[in-house]
């Protein structure tokens, strides 16, 4: 349940951010790093696949590495698709 102070604030505007909700808005930065996140995701997926060449003998490790890599690639492909169709909204 929201407190009375939160209820009184109301909605200031669509583009404005209340510094009480987002402390980083006070000093001017309020965003993300979409390109760096995508690059880190692709590098992580590649590193997981490179880790298949190791000194382990069972398939359990291989299945986890392949599964996590596929999960990362699936998420990155969805992100690319979302980015490509973002102008339609």
Structural domain that includes position 60: 32-84
Q: Residue 23: its pLDDT value, please?
A: 64
CA-based nearest residue to 79, from 35, 47, 46? 35
Task: Name, in order, each residue with C-beta under 8 angstroms of 10's C-beta and a sequence gap of 6 or more.
Answer: none
Is residue 8 one of the residues assigned to a domain? no
CA-based nearest residue to 32, from 70, 81, 79? 79
Is residue 58 one of the residues assigned to a domain? yes
Is residue 72 one of the residues assigned to a domain? yes
Is residue 65 one of the residues assigned to a domain? yes
Q: Residue 55: its pLDDT value, please?
A: 83
pLDDT at 4 over 70: no
pLDDT at 7 over 70: no
pLDDT in tens, 22-69: 666 556 665 677 889 999 999 999 999 999 998 888 899 999 999 999
Q: Supply the DSSP symbol for 2.
A: -
Is residue 66 one of the residues assigned to a domain? yes
Is residue 64 one of the residues assigned to a domain? yes
How many domains is the chain built from? 1
Is residue 16 one of the residues assigned to a domain? no
Task: Name, in order, each residue with C-beta under 8 angstroms of 19's C-beta and a sequence gap of 6 or more.
Answer: 25, 26
């Amino acid at each position: 349940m929201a407190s009375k102070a939160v209820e009184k604030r109301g909605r200031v505007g669509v583009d404005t951010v209340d510094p009480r909700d987002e402390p980083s808005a006070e000093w001017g930065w309020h965003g993300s790093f979409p390109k760096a996140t995508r690059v880190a995701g692709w590098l992580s997926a590649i590193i997981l696949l490179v880790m298949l060449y190791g000194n382990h003998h069972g398939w359990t490790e291989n299945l986890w590495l392949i599964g996590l890599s596929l999960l990362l690639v699936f998420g990155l492909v969805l992100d690319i698709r979302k980015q490509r169709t973002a102008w339609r909204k």
